[in-house]
Structure 1
Amino acid sequence: MRDEDIVKVIRAGENKSPEVAAYEKEVVAQHKKFADQVPKSGTEQSPGGVKKVDKTERGAVLHMENGLIHLTYLMPDLLEVRVCKDDLAGKPFSYAVEKYDWAPVEPTVIEDRQAVVVGAGLFACNVNRGTGQFSIYAPDGIPLITNTEEGFQWLGDGVKWSRQLLEDEWCYGLGQRADHLNLRGNRYNLRNADPFLYKRGDDPCYYSIPFYFGFQSKYALGIFWDNPAKGFVDLGKTQTECMSFEAVGGEIRFYFMASLLPETILDRYTTLTGHPYMPPIWALGYHQSRWGYESAARFRELASEFRRRKIPCDVLHYDIDYMNGYRCFTWDEKNFADLPTLVKELRGRGFKSVAILDPGIKVDPQYEIYKDGKEKGIFLTYPDGTPYTGVVWPGTCEFPDFSAAEGRAWWAEKVAEFVKKTGFAGVWNDMNEPTVFLKNGPDTFPDYIIYHGENGLSFSHAEGGNNLYGMQMARATQAGLELGIPNERPFTFTRTGFAGVQRYASSWTGDNLSTWDHLRLSISMLLNLGLSGIPFSGPDVGGFGDTPDGELYTRWVQLGSMLPFFRTHSTKESADQEPWSFGPQYEAIVRRYIELRYQLLPYFYSVMAIANQKGLPFIRPGFFHDHSDPYLRAQDDAFLVGDSLFVAPILEAGSTKRIVYLPRGAWYNYWTNKLIDGARHIEVDGPLDTMPIFVRAGHTLPQWPVQQYVGEKKLSQITLRVYAGPGETTLYEDAGAGNQYLEGEYRYSYFTCGFLPGGRFGISWRTAGRYKPPYEAVRVRIVGIPGEPNDILIDDKPAPVWFFEHGVLEVLSAPFRELALVGRRADSSASAQTAVRRPKG
């Protein structure tokens, strides 16, 4: 039986074939051979009490009855805690942590008979001398962390840390969880897996990021459990008021951060593990993909249809269909004979091409990629050094060891050669949880497969290989793109990852389903990914498995238009899911929302720039706007985009309106310009052609003209859509591609709106940076003006042309410093928070 046929039989669950039975028998035999070479549990042991204290430049080392506790302040509000049996092996290497050079801190160490207190300004650790009980307190005495009686534990090869969950603590983050936004009351795997066509509540999923984002009554806090070994995190499932991290290997090492502001937590976490990479602006456009685009002719047809129907699109994705027998770095000489020519032709029509690459390298002595990897010792092995093989799409494969610098360099070289040869602009990493097809065995590599990592460090699949694999593959892929197209800004996205993957790639939520519940579930999954340091992500719009009807697809496109990664993708077993696949009625609405996406690209790009600089999510829970409102802490049917937009998608079949809780302050309905006061539930219309969107009063939305792809036309004019009220908005601009921004070729604009002396409404525009945008004209549309002003002053001179109609003032101008309305002010009404009123008449 051919390898391809073995794959089909295993995926179908039909284990009747003698060939398949023989294959599985061989794999099971290998498992039995090495079954004892996995981490083992053992008798519980704890550090016990404090015997001696050594002060350090950043804190203290506590010598306990058993082992040591290192307390190291990296910043006044960022603490590293290590609990180890001894210091003989030194501090383990971390693939997650990027930053090691920190500014000096001034810790204090206070000892008495009862306790040792180690602090550095914003919080302090308290360790009981007799029992070793560990706590962290805020400056006002509020307990932030209090260990349970079990506290720190060694369990044979494994480790565990247990702390109290406060009654008012909300639980978020932890990567991708097919669950509600608030994760409290659940226990989750810390293991990356491929839950093909998963449903709500399935666990594990693709991204197990051991970063916990908590919110207590007053403080936000972050805990990064820096241990890549398989394990669990329990958020009050086993014991209602207890949270625990546990792992089958490694050491107890975590980083703790706390702040009154949630945004500070993500800034500290991404300062530690690396800020999200800055994608090219075209990656924020619309992407079309499908497993089943099987020929060059199909791609040409797609391109023609998008342009003929005037539906904007920037990216076409090539699934495994383009390969020769699913072999990486090859293409089908029959159906894609002219692949480089095709890619070049499509680029000329405004389409970037992105190719899938899986980690499995087909075992085939005639396959040059396999031969080269074999000769250079790149592939993973069993503990005795024999090659590990698993079955995936090409059949029997070996797999690169991405934990080693040599393995990453080899892969990067192959990626670079491939993109040079083909012209692909980006790479999509799939199957890298890693996944293998085996019904009567593990869905990933065996726990005892050996990795040869950094600095001579070796570890098993269970001890870190599983969770690190996808992240390190993305790292190598990104490096390959930088080598292959050095003057372009690379674009990589990966189905799985670990803490720190945001440095190298964006993500998506994997093989979802075409259901209304998955539409809703997309929001909470993306919010928690954002709270795990991964801002650039999205679902397969329309659902990967099964086929949506026109209504569901339309509602999903509406939602997708406001998400960071906007891609339709589906399986070949489903019906077509192009924007025109459901008939003219739906096509018109879908076009409208894709056009809206392109109009808002300068705003979305600015949100990504802030993510790149500060680690803030692209889409955010409502509590980022008002963290004092307990209702917003559980809201997962609406969300912020940046800090200017609030989106409330329609999530139920047949619905034409919905109830939404609007955050505190004044908001404008994007479609009607109606001013609405927040901190309450409102009913809002949402017929099929409308997804409710609200804009924060005092904010400015920068907009571009509709283009069929980024860069189709020279940008001669930008529109500033200003919503009357006091506030400030940031616009980030650079070339949108290339790496000149890393050398300072960028510009920030700050639009500040407010009321001037005499009740006049004004806008100031300040800039910083040396990038010069191409536009020379600015169209300003001010929403929320109750009556026609007497005059408009631009830099203290009367505006030559302006219009006023139905509460909207429009001015055409060159870029300015100050714009003021004379003789009228934005009405002020029910909102004391913003002093903005509903327009009259």
Structure 2
Amino acid sequence: MFRRDRKKKQDKSSKKQTEQTQIQTPNGQGNPPERYAKVAEKMAKQFAKPPVTGPLKTPGIIQHVQQIPGGAIIHAANASISVIFYQPNLVEIRMRPDRQFPPVFSYALSETFKFAPQAATVTEDTDTVVIGAGGMACVFTRTTTQLRIYMTNGQEVSVESGFSWLGEKVTWQRQLPADEGCYGLGQRGWGLNLRGRKWALWNFDPVGYGRGTDPVYYSIPFYMGVHPEYAVGVLWDNPARGTVDLGAERANQMAFSADTGELRLYFMADEKPDAVLKHYLELTGLPPLLPLWAFGYQQSRWGYVPSNKFRELAREFRQRLIPCDVLHFDIDYMDGHRVFTYNKETFGDLPALLSELDKQGFKAVSIVDPAIKVDLDYETFRDGQERGMFHTYPDGRLFVAPVWAGDSAFPDFTNPTVREWWAGQVESLLKVGFAGLWNDMNEPTVFLPPGPGIVPEYIQANWEGQGNTHLGGAHNVYGMQMARATRMGLERARPDKRQFVLTRAAYAGAQRYTVSWTGDNRSEWDHLRLSISVVLNLGLSGMFFTGPDIGGFMGDCEPEMYARWIQVASLLPFCRTHTCTGTVNQEPWSFGAEVEKIARKYIELRYQLLPYLYSTYVQGAQNGVPMIRPTFWDDPSDTRLYNQDDAYMVGDALLVAPILEQGATKRELYLPRGVWYNFWTRKLIDGSRTIELEAPLDQMPIFVRAGRVVPMWPVTQYVGERPIDELQLLAFAGIGETTLYEDAGDGLSYKNGDYRYSYFSTKFLPGGQFAVEWRRAGKYQPAYKKVRLELVGISGDPEMVYVDDQAAPLWFFENSMVEVLSSPFSQVRIVGKSPDTSEAAKTVARRPGPSGDQTS
């Protein structure tokens, strides 16, 4: 269990000394990485599979069709293909040469998804077999087993080149339309549109990746293809090492491949990308709600030693009035890098420290790596070894490899008993006072000269009791299942709280257990730009809460870069500065007074926007829509937005267009269709055109979609510092609707209905009137009694302002904005002056918006 340091014994029997020596040095004598490298090379040869040569095999001509619930099994000359519709627009496709279709087990799929076959029809003629279920139809060509998929409107959404295999390797190909944008696939060190490259499906620690580095930490085998007229999604449900080729070998063809395992995929199609992503989240699970404090600013570095460094850090934040909610504890606080311990010399007062931080409004998050040091005086290892909790070689010997603590063993998180055991270790750690946990090194990574390596594929895994020799050692699901076990421990320790688990590596469906960050980035300008595309594609892969290490993890950040980076990250879901040991200081005040002022400004803006950020995340988590979205999200018909990776949407109201180049104080932006307001100047701008923006160092361009209401709070130094006594509603003239979700910010009372939805409508009324209407539903009662409504876009001094049909007691007009102070209202009505009469504003009321309203 959790210990101040490892247990030391003065007297040891010779038997125990021999036993410990045998366990600690199973790879021989010498430097741990070097001797492990020799063992790894030997084992790789011993367990290597002989190469398979020969022509690719294909299913061949269709011989017989067997109708089953939800679809059919196509029996071809060389293989059988199962097609089952589980939703009208979602179909499962499996291909097996052995013609056996055992029940599906998948770590990707959610236990809550109802695998109820849809009513399907099967029709045959001399040329084709057609399987349909209302939303889509699968059409097989009899002579080749080629598959075409159509939507009910007749739109062809997929032309397959077909299915093939060679030995254990399986491949599925699909023609790639010329105008289809390619997205998702987890974390990729590339631009937003992934087309034209071949990507590895393999989790790997590249130690400071760059543009084009592949693979990296987090591969998710979910592809989203966006077309002006439709969108498709493919979940390649095979966790083995694989690839996805998006037009690299052939410009008009994509292909998923896996080295072993079953060819099983889920194909979905709909008119818009949001519907496709919703199908994927229904399959793999929605993310749980997070505590509100997770949306606050967070500070970290590898190198905060000793414990008083944290006291100094906390004092600086509060004295400098820079809001902060979370401090992260990296591996420095442990005893010799042994997880679930702390060093009695440098952090002997850890429980008292965490208590002090909590009283000052700081939550503490601890790093937890999977590797357990091989040391019989270390209780976690001894207990795990005795219980058989660790991975083994095929011959049953303990698998040991070097990581931070030296030779280490690795828990097998595909074993339910191991997850229970790990959860118990986590419980003991939380008793010290940590509020959340941070899983790192869980690709899983081991140390090999000259750089990192991986736990080999031949290592044995339990796989829920099924064994895993056919799936490459459960490598790609390792981080996900570690996060699952970590979450179990948090839920046991604090069943009445919402949990915060952060992971570096995972797999499809991990959003059920954890949030993520973008790994060990670099203090480089291109990495600042990559932050946006990586976060966007993770969001399109179901990971809605993520963000980069602000300022970069590896290398020395410089003042201008930090200022621009904290601007970018201030409106991303996960907002944390983190850096490596040995780098320059990277706190918000480390780069001089000017940058400190900028950092404070944008962190304060984040805290002002907390109700909007939190509400956007929660609504997305409930409906399967990411908080951070590509600019094409609401208008996929505009292909000019398909490659726009230097801007992003926060919900459907805010568009962020940061500066990403050194020395730049202006930039161009292609503004999406609609009418927008400059957040800072309140000026109205028409979209569907390229504009030039001025952006001095202290300003990041932000735009607000016309017709939206942005809720804001007063600045606090941390979540819960004091009750929020006033709600500010920043309304931008136009026609539209905005939804605000509110609850207690922590705890589980929302599951019993303790929440509230507010629906804001902005509309024009006859007689030159404009109104903001507010409907509320739910039993949660916020603390605020005062409301400050600021209506932007009014061309002149109104004749009258009414609140719920009564003359407003307090309002004023200035610079095209009407400000009204009141209690919560049902309607505020502006009489006598319409919103801005410029040409751009006139279009607000007549141009259809992205959701069919007329906001833009």
TM-score exceeds 0.5: yes
After alignment, is 739-748 or 229-238 more displaced?
A: 739-748
* CA pair 197-71 structure 1, distance change in 2 beyond 3 A: same
State the partner residue of 1:223: 234
Contact kept in structure 1, 2:296 and 2:324, CA below 8 Å? yes
State the partner residue of 1:757: 766
Counterpart-to-counterpart distance in 1, 2:32 and 2:273: 56
Contact kept in structure 1, 2:32 and 2:407, CA below 8 Å? no
The structure 2 residue matched to 1:559, chosen from 556, 562, 568, is 568
The structure 1 residue matched to 2:72, chosen from 60, 71, 74, is 60
Q: How does 1:229-268 map to 2 (within 5 A)?
A: 229-268=240-279
| Match status 1:589 vs 2:602 | no
The count of residues paired between Structure 1 and Structure 2 equals: 818
| Match status 1:117 vs 2:130 | yes
Kindly provide the amino acid, as one letter, of the partner of residue 226 in structure 1: D
Is the partner of 2:351 in helix, strand or coil? helix
Is the partner of 1:255 in helix, strand or coil? strand
Contact kept in structure 2, 1:324 and 1:330, CA below 8 Å? yes
* CA pair 365-480 structure 1, distance change in 2 beyond 3 A: same
Given the two structures, how large is their TM-score scaled by the length of structure 2? 0.93
The structure 2 residue matched to 1:35, chosen from 44, 48, 55, is 48
After alignment, is 331-340 or 77-86 more displaced?
A: 77-86
* CA pair 130-26 structure 1, distance change in 2 beyond 3 A: closer
The structure 1 residue matched to 2:335, chosen from 324, 343, 348, is 324
State the partner residue of 1:475: 484
* CA pair 25-630 structure 1, distance change in 2 beyond 3 A: closer
Deviation at 1:35, TM superposition (A): 2.9
State the partner residue of 1:509: 518
Contact kept in structure 1, 2:244 and 2:257, CA below 8 Å? yes
After alignment, is 132-141 or 539-548 more displaced?
A: 132-141
Counterpart-to-counterpart distance in 2, 1:582 and 1:441: 32
Deviation at 1:87, TM superposition (A): 5.0
Contact kept in structure 1, 2:463 and 2:474, CA below 8 Å? no
Contact kept in structure 1, 2:551 and 2:562, CA below 8 Å? yes
Deviation at 1:106, TM superposition (A): 2.5
| Match status 1:797 vs 2:817 | no
Contact kept in structure 2, 1:178 and 1:199, CA below 8 Å? yes
Contact kept in structure 2, 1:446 and 1:461, CA below 8 Å? no
Kindly provide the amino acid, as one letter, of the partner of residue 133 in structure 1: Q
Counterpart-to-counterpart distance in 2, 1:723 and 1:73: 44
Counterpart-to-counterpart distance in 2, 1:82 and 1:764: 51
Deviations 1:253-275 (A, max 9, x none): 11111111111011110010001
After alignment, is 572-581 or 139-148 more displaced?
A: 139-148
State the partner residue of 2:63: 51
Deviation at 1:460, TM superposition (A): 3.8
Counterpart-to-counterpart distance in 1, 2:96 and 2:810: 71
Deviations 1:544-581 (A, max 9, x none): 01111111000000001011100000001210000000
Is the partner of 2:275 in helix, strand or coil? helix
Kindly provide the amino acid, as one letter, of the partner of residue 436 in structure 2: G
Deviations 1:685-739 (A, max 9, x none): 1000000000111000100000000010111111001011111111111110111
Counterpart-to-counterpart distance in 2, 1:830 and 1:678: 12
Is the partner of 1:597 in helix, strand or coil? helix
Counterpart-to-counterpart distance in 2, 1:680 and 1:519: 25
The structure 2 residue matched to 1:379, chosen from 390, 393, 396, is 390
Deviation at 1:89, TM superposition (A): 6.1
State the partner residue of 1:12: none
* CA pair 359-703 structure 1, distance change in 2 beyond 3 A: same
Contact kept in structure 2, 1:725 and 1:836, CA below 8 Å? no
After alignment, is 22-31 or 184-193 more displaced?
A: 22-31
State the partner residue of 2:614: 605
Kindly provide the amino acid, as one letter, of the partner of residue 73 in structure 2: V
Counterpart-to-counterpart distance in 1, 2:786 and 2:411: 53
* CA pair 105-462 structure 1, distance change in 2 beyond 3 A: closer
| Match status 1:768 vs 2:777 | yes
* CA pair 46-20 structure 1, distance change in 2 beyond 3 A: closer
Given the two structures, how large is their TM-score scaled by the length of structure 1? 0.95
* CA pair 567-825 structure 1, distance change in 2 beyond 3 A: same
Kindly provide the amino acid, as one letter, of the partner of residue 115 in structure 1: T
Deviation at 1:651, TM superposition (A): 0.7
Counterpart-to-counterpart distance in 2, 1:39 and 1:108: 42
Kindly provide the amino acid, as one letter, of the partner of residue 146 in structure 1: V
Contact kept in structure 2, 1:746 and 1:771, CA below 8 Å? yes
| Match status 1:212 vs 2:223 | yes
Counterpart-to-counterpart distance in 1, 2:451 and 2:844: 60
Is the partner of 2:44 in helix, strand or coil? helix
Is the partner of 1:452 in helix, strand or coil? coil
Superposed CA RMSD in Å reads 1.8
Counterpart-to-counterpart distance in 2, 1:190 and 1:18: 32
Counterpart-to-counterpart distance in 2, 1:806 and 1:763: 19
Contact kept in structure 2, 1:24 and 1:440, CA below 8 Å? no
| Match status 1:428 vs 2:441 | no
| Match status 1:127 vs 2:136 | no
State the partner residue of 2:4: none
Counterpart-to-counterpart distance in 1, 2:737 and 2:34: 66
| Match status 1:78 vs 2:90 | yes
Counterpart-to-counterpart distance in 1, 2:273 and 2:303: 43
Is the partner of 2:220 in helix, strand or coil? coil
Is the partner of 2:730 in helix, strand or coil? strand
Kindly provide the amino acid, as one letter, of the partner of residue 807 in structure 1: S
State the partner residue of 1:5: none
Kindly provide the amino acid, as one letter, of the partner of residue 90 in structure 1: P
Deviations 1:186-212 (A, max 9, x none): 001100000111110010011111100
The structure 2 residue matched to 1:524, chosen from 517, 521, 533, is 533
Deviation at 1:24, TM superposition (A): 3.5
The structure 2 residue matched to 1:745, chosen from 738, 748, 754, is 754
Contact kept in structure 2, 1:449 and 1:461, CA below 8 Å? no
Counterpart-to-counterpart distance in 2, 1:59 and 1:559: 47
Counterpart-to-counterpart distance in 2, 1:461 and 1:195: 26
Counterpart-to-counterpart distance in 2, 1:551 and 1:409: 47
State the partner residue of 1:669: 678
Is the partner of 2:446 in helix, strand or coil? coil
| Match status 1:414 vs 2:444 | no
Counterpart-to-counterpart distance in 2, 1:701 and 1:604: 10
For structure 2, list consecutive stretches of 5 or more residues without a partner in the other structure. 1-28, 848-856
Counterpart-to-counterpart distance in 2, 1:332 and 1:398: 21
For structure 1, list consecutive stretches of 5 or more residues without a partner in the other structure. 1-15
Counterpart-to-counterpart distance in 2, 1:23 and 1:217: 52
Counterpart-to-counterpart distance in 2, 1:694 and 1:91: 50
Contact kept in structure 2, 1:228 and 1:464, CA below 8 Å? no
State the partner residue of 1:402: 413
Counterpart-to-counterpart distance in 1, 2:669 and 2:303: 39
Is the partner of 1:827 in helix, strand or coil? coil
Deviation at 1:59, TM superposition (A): 1.4
Deviations 1:640-684 (A, max 9, x none): 111000000001111111111111111110110001101100011
Deviation at 1:818, TM superposition (A): 1.3
* CA pair 778-524 structure 1, distance change in 2 beyond 3 A: same
Contact kept in structure 1, 2:32 and 2:406, CA below 8 Å? no
Is the partner of 1:459 in helix, strand or coil? coil
Is the partner of 1:493 in helix, strand or coil? strand
* CA pair 40-426 structure 1, distance change in 2 beyond 3 A: farther
State the partner residue of 1:354: 365
Counterpart-to-counterpart distance in 1, 2:189 and 2:328: 25
| Match status 1:496 vs 2:489 | no
Kindly provide the amino acid, as one letter, of the partner of residue 418 in structure 2: G
Counterpart-to-counterpart distance in 2, 1:644 and 1:338: 46
Counterpart-to-counterpart distance in 2, 1:446 and 1:353: 34
Deviation at 1:465, TM superposition (A): 1.1
Q: How does 1:299-310 map to 2 (within 5 A)?
A: 299-310=310-321
Counterpart-to-counterpart distance in 2, 1:406 and 1:178: 36
Deviation at 1:625, TM superposition (A): 2.3
Is the partner of 1:45 in helix, strand or coil? coil
State the partner residue of 1:453: 463
